[in-house]
Structure 1
Amino acid sequence: MKDEINGAIAAWDDSEIGDPLVLIHGLSESRAAWQHQSQELSKHFRVISYDVRGFGESEIGVAEGTPQQFARDLAGLLSNLGVDRARLWGFSMGGVISMRFAIDYPDMVESLILGSSSCLINQQALEFFKIRTGLTTRDKPDELIDLNTEDAKACISIDRPDLIQKYVDLRTSAIQDLKGYANACAAMSTLFEYPLTHELPNIKSPTLVITGDLDMFCPPKASGIIHDGIPGSILRILPGAGHCAHWEQADTINDIALDFLSGNGNG
């Protein structure tokens, strides 16, 4: 499905039946990143997965390079679909969008799952984004593709060449516009000067924070900071999982997520 949301064409999938659950992908991904979750989750919820502004089939439009704009985009999408309140599951950058949305639109959030995410970044992470943004502004797509490929490989910790290649291909195809990638990097870079840490206590929705103990991009410490900041949140660290825990241990994480989202337990 496609429509204009906040001045740009946005693309999404909607299973249409059940209570709404929105899946929000990470940097250099598209809604296809939820391929290990969508089918199972749609048995229980109305699953809405969308391409974040500038990725996949969603246009970049007039970009601000802020988490706030991404949150407004999500609010616009839900309004378009007639959804007043939803559960959110955000991965990595999608987790940042979810936190920003829960802070800015608290009445629209039923519950949150924050996967492999962070509420702030350090100098090393800031340089990570600067390097990648620099390659887009210097119009060096080949170098960016190579770097993006290495990033993709590092996201998965298990020895599964088939899974790794599938994820590499997904990330490569998700970048349809270098400006979209640069915009997302700019948005994530704002967490250096303007971390979400002090705003986390404003999140009142039930929250599950989940990550892998081998995550190289958003280490468990980052999830611990989120957990400490959100009152009553639950923290789960999966042994032997990397950044893409929802790819590496899909069945396990789906069970944990469904238990939490259904209100049957503590994730």
Structure 2
Amino acid sequence: MPNPEFGVLDVRYKNHEAIALPDGGELYYEESGIGGDGTPLTFVNNFYIVSPIWGNFTQELAKEFRLLNYDLRNQGASTPGPAPATFDDHVEDLRRLLDHRGIEQTYLVATSISTLIAREFTYKYPERVAGLVLIGPAFSPNGSLRRILLSKHWLATLESGGTTGLFNLLYPLVFPDQLVHAGGTAAYLALRDNFLALLSKSSIAENLKASLEVEDDPDKLATLTRPTLIINGDGDFAWSRSVIEDALARIPDSREVTLPRAGHVPFFDDPAGFQKATAEFVRDCEAARAAERRGAAAAA
């Protein structure tokens, strides 16, 4: 069931680990979970959340896996470089972070627009990705046009109405009917206050502009050969049932879970369902990998 009590979200930064970026910025990251021996899950922020948010929705995953999350280079506790971030900067920052933490291969957990970062990283560095968890993807399996039109509209709203205007536009799109009505004014104000306190107009604009550089090539999805889990809410404004089916047809070794009474960021609305689906997917992938290793050893 949706939880409207978002005023209790913990958004405190718990440490100050950071790595230096080549152009002078810094990338803030946090680790939690069972430590270096656990299967690593790396969480990639969308443009509207910051790193500590994940701790509210990953308590069960932390009991089983090694969790790594970070702020994008111009977001939250990370610092920007001297030039506007490009989309390739975000892809390379993810590689730098994995190198810094000695993670050769990880499961990428991405949400909304950061599914583009995870997708592009997997195209470029498939050997670094054990599997993909794509939550409420922002890209389309049919092309870029709708995403680009939406992003340009959001940029125009941000320019004219600031972060408050953008939040007012996004709130009824991102969150499901049940939460909006059950939460009422309290949920709206709590989420708005977090949004305004943690995000800046300049960082959102920079990231949205960078996302316009990326094309959604439907045919290229066939090269995503890493196991892929798509998690959607049944109230997602972006992907209908038929779009999910289009994605499953184009992405090899893909599966999906639709969470009821959830929206575009279903880990907010159903943390238990999100964690259960993610854990089961990773366990299945790890079991398949172990079986492959046993088969290879037996054949040697």
TM-score by length of 2: 0.77
Alignment partner of 1:175 out of 179, 189, 199: 199
Contact kept, 8 Å, 1:60 with 1:179, in 2: the verdict is no
Is 1:9 aligned to 2:5, yes or no?
no
User: Which digits, 9 at most, give the CA deviation of each residue in 1:78-102, with x for residues without a partner?
Assistant: 1111111111110111211111111
Distance 2:243 2:189 in 1: 27
Please give the residue correspondences for 1:250-261 in structure 2 after superposition, counting only pairs within 5 Å: 250-261=271-282
Question: 3-state SS of the aligned residue for 2:247?
Answer: helix
| Number of residues of Structure 1 aligned to a counterpart in Structure 2 | 259
Identity of paired residues, percent? 20
Is 1:145 aligned to 2:161, yes or no?
no
Using the TM superposition, name which of 4-13 and 96-105 deviates more: 4-13
Give the 3 Å change call, closer, same or farther, for CA 89–6 of structure 1 in structure 2: farther
Give the 3 Å change call, closer, same or farther, for CA 57–154 of structure 1 in structure 2: same
Using the TM superposition, name which of 249-258 and 225-234 deviates more: 225-234
Give the 3 Å change call, closer, same or farther, for CA 107–25 of structure 1 in structure 2: same
Question: 3-state SS of the aligned residue for 2:284?
Answer: coil
TM-score by length of 1: 0.86
AA aligned to 1:184 is N
Q: Provide the residue aligned with 2:151 in structure 1.
A: 129
CA RMSD of aligned residues (A): 2.5
How far apart are residue 39 of structure 1 and its match?
2.2
Q: Provide the residue aligned with 1:53 in structure 2.
A: 73
User: Which digits, 9 at most, give the CA deviation of each residue in 1:36-95, with x for residues without a partner?
Assistant: 3232211111100111222211223233432x3211110011111111111111011121
Alignment partner of 1:108 out of 115, 128, 135: 128
The unaligned stretches of length 5 or more in structure 1 are none
Please give the residue correspondences for 1:139-218 in structure 2 after superposition, counting only pairs within 5 Å: 143-157=162-176, 158=179, 159-161=182-184, 162-176=186-200, 178-191=201-214, 194-218=215-239
Give the 3 Å change call, closer, same or farther, for CA 57–38 of structure 1 in structure 2: same
Distance 1:72 1:206 in 2: 22
Contact kept, 8 Å, 1:212 with 1:238, in 2: the verdict is yes
Alignment partner of 2:96 out of 51, 76, 88: 76
Contact kept, 8 Å, 1:19 with 1:45, in 2: the verdict is yes
Question: 3-state SS of the aligned residue for 1:42?
Answer: helix
Distance 1:51 1:154 in 2: 24
Distance 1:154 1:236 in 2: 20
Question: 3-state SS of the aligned residue for 2:150?
Answer: helix
How far apart are residue 190 of structure 1 and its match?
3.3
Question: 3-state SS of the aligned residue for 1:246?
Answer: helix
AA aligned to 1:150 is L
User: Which digits, 9 at most, give the CA deviation of each residue in 1:217-265, with x for residues without a partner?
Assistant: 4445444433222101002222322112111011112111111112279
Q: Which has the larger radius of gyration?
A: 2
